[in-house]
Chains A and B, each alone.
Chain A
Amino acid sequence: MSTPIVEVTSAVVGYDERIVLRDVSLTVQRGDVVAILGANGSGKSTLVRSILRLVPLSAGEITLFGDRKFKRWERIGYVPQRIGAGSGVPATVAEVVGSGLVARRGILRPPRAADRAAVTAALDAVGLADRAADPVASLSGGQQQRTLIARALAGRPELLVLDEPTAGVDATSQAAFAGALGTFVAGGGTVLLVAHELGPLQPLITRCVVVHHGEIAHEGGVPEPAGHHADPGHDHVHPHAHEAQAGMWGA
């Protein structure tokens, strides 16, 4: 078997006294599309953030592309949960997407024609080509999320890591997003995504990992939705109150 893209071995993460992840192991192979599911506070986001070295491990080990001291970040495209739209200084969609190319290009080199082409291609992929010159703050939440996906895609990564990419995103954007992700996967890309529910992404997923109370509670295929969840057009909206009853499609 080839080197796994991501290999988490007995990872433990704790903030102060509280343990958020305990003894988690996970392997992602090239071409996998892995969905990490779980309730709010289950530790699923922490797992992804520790893979990206944003959260330090208390114990265990995580290798990326077989490398324990991974440095080649241009191989990874990261889509955070929400945009940092808080900053008062406006930025256009193209500027934000272009910032996904800085690391690959090197910080001293100015953008070239190829970079501008990459930005245009990434915006095309998420269906926002016509908004390139607009300020990001003027976009809807779903469009802002697609901007972040374009930013990650612009660098032509091998692994795409997404944190709740479809949370609260309108249907048009979800479909555009699923399309972009499908193209990325068809091109040989590997995907690791944190999700609350899969929605239109479901056909793309090859494996589901359910995190519950900081441990992996289930790993395997995508279970069929049951009950009213299986209805076409079922709109999955409910308060996320009962963490204890975490199910695949529930909380």
Chain B
Amino acid sequence: MSIFANEFMIRAFIGAVVIGLTAPALGIYLVQRRMSLIGDGVGHVALTGVGVGLLLDRSPVLTAVIVSAIGAIAIELIRERGRTSGDVALALLFYGGIAGGVMLVGLSGSRSNANLMTYLFGSLATTSRSDLIVIVVLGAVVLALALGLRPALFAASHDEEYARVSGLPVRALNLLVAVLTAVTVTISMRAVGLLLVSALMVVPVATAQQVARGFVATMGLAMVLGVAAAGSGVWLAWEIDTALGATIVILAIAGFLIVAVAVAATRAVRKRAALRSGRPDRGPGRPVPADAEPHEVVLDRS
């Protein structure tokens, strides 16, 4: 039977592709700020939102957006304030979020663990028509902001202090990224699941940055990879009957490993060729060896 004979498969496919496009476009800013795991934390908090929705008999997507946005703002404010105490505060938020979610889902008396599992790990069959509309509309909003505000978001994520001195509303931009993260996590939970959303925000970016030279190039390539993983994931999950979220993430990680091996192999070949011709490997754009730096230079911040 053809994969697209079922309407729910078409919905799952469209939803996955939208998520595959959106998640890396936003995730690149999280990776750039070294906050790759923040999506995971927001996902934990979103589960409480799902619980609230089921308990109140409202749309879990809506309550999850609200609760995870509040959580994401809290995380951003904690991050802004400092480091050490923030670490523990984040842990409290994460575990509180998932524990609260599991308890509330239980209290709601909704049919069982199976329901909980679809939110945690995603499912092919659960994307309803109204879910799909929410995914497409919110996905378009996130995508438009992530692309449209790229210069400002890039500046604020690349060098926060400089962005502040150049007069950018750094705090507003950071909070915007936090809220967009919450929205992305929530629209992705139906297909990929709350525990795996973060992977789709981070892994395509990690793959792309191995080969891309600039930020825009990384962003574009990550979006292509995200769509490829999501689209082929739907097909594979259908063919071999596996969980959709896990399949998409495994494919994305496989892509990362293939690129990593290919890059390492290319480097090794180039190095050997350079050694044979008796000159150091200094092709354009290849990193200059660290020992070419004056000894006082420290490239990392502090």
A residues lining the B interface (CB < 8 Å): 52-54, 71-74, 76, 78, 80, 82-92, 94-96, 98-103, 105, 107-108, 110-111, 133-135, 137-142, 144, 151, 155, 161, 167-170
A138 CB contact (under 8 Å) in B206, B216, B286, B295: B286
Q: Which residues of B contact A87 (CB under 8 A)?
A: 31-34, 157-158
Whether B159 pairs with A90 at a CB distance below 8 angstroms is no
Give the CA-CA distance A89 to B157 in the complex, in Å.
Answer: 10
Any chain A CB within 8 A of the CB of B292? yes
Whether B149 pairs with A91 at a CB distance below 8 angstroms is no
Any chain A CB within 8 A of the CB of B242? no
A84 CB contact (under 8 Å) in B148, B212, B213, B301: B301
Which chain A residue has the least Cβ–Cβ distance from B299? A85
20 contacts between A and B (CB under 8 A): A80-B161, A84-B158, A84-B159, A86-B34, A88-B206, A89-B205, A89-B209, A90-B218, A92-B213, A99-B158, A99-B162, A102-B168, A103-B167, A107-B149, A107-B173, A135-B285, A141-B293, A141-B294, A168-B298, A170-B294
Beyond A111-B151, A134-B284, A140-B292, list 12 extra A-B contacts (CB 8 Å): A71-B167, A82-B298, A83-B299, A87-B34, A88-B34, A88-B206, A94-B214, A99-B158, A110-B148, A140-B293, A140-B297, A170-B294
Whether B154 pairs with A95 at a CB distance below 8 angstroms is yes
User: Which of B206, B213, B218, B295 has the most A CB atoms < 10 Å from its CB?
Assistant: B213
Any chain A CB within 8 A of the CB of B88? no
Whether B209 pairs with A90 at a CB distance below 8 angstroms is yes
Q: Which residues of B contact A71 (CB under 8 A)?
A: 167
Whether A78 pairs with B165 at a CB distance below 8 angstroms is yes
Q: Which residues of B contact A170 (CB under 8 A)?
A: 294
Whether B297 pairs with A141 at a CB distance below 8 angstroms is yes
Number of A-B pairs, beta carbon distance below 8 Å: 145
Is chain A's binding surface mostly helix, strand, loop or mixed?
loop
Q: Which residues of A contact B33 (CB under 8 A)?
A: 87
Any chain A CB within 8 A of the CB of B155? yes
User: Which of A78, A90, A141 has the most B CB atoms < 10 Å from its CB?
Assistant: A90
Q: Which residues of A contact B209 (CB under 8 A)?
A: 88-90
Q: Which residues of A contact B288 (CB under 8 A)?
A: 138-140
Whether A89 pairs with B31 at a CB distance below 8 angstroms is yes
Interface string of B204-225 (1 = CB under 8 A from A): 0110010011111110000000
Give the CA-CA distance A134 to B286 in the complex, in Å.
Answer: 9
Any chain A CB within 8 A of the CB of B296? yes
Whether A144 pairs with B299 at a CB distance below 8 angstroms is yes
Interface string of B7-34 (1 = CB under 8 A from A): 0000000000000000000001001111
Any chain A CB within 8 A of the CB of B55? no
Any chain A CB within 8 A of the CB of B287? yes
Any chain A CB within 8 A of the CB of B6? no
Give the CA-CA distance A21 to B288 in the complex, in Å.
Answer: 40
Whether B215 pairs with A91 at a CB distance below 8 angstroms is yes
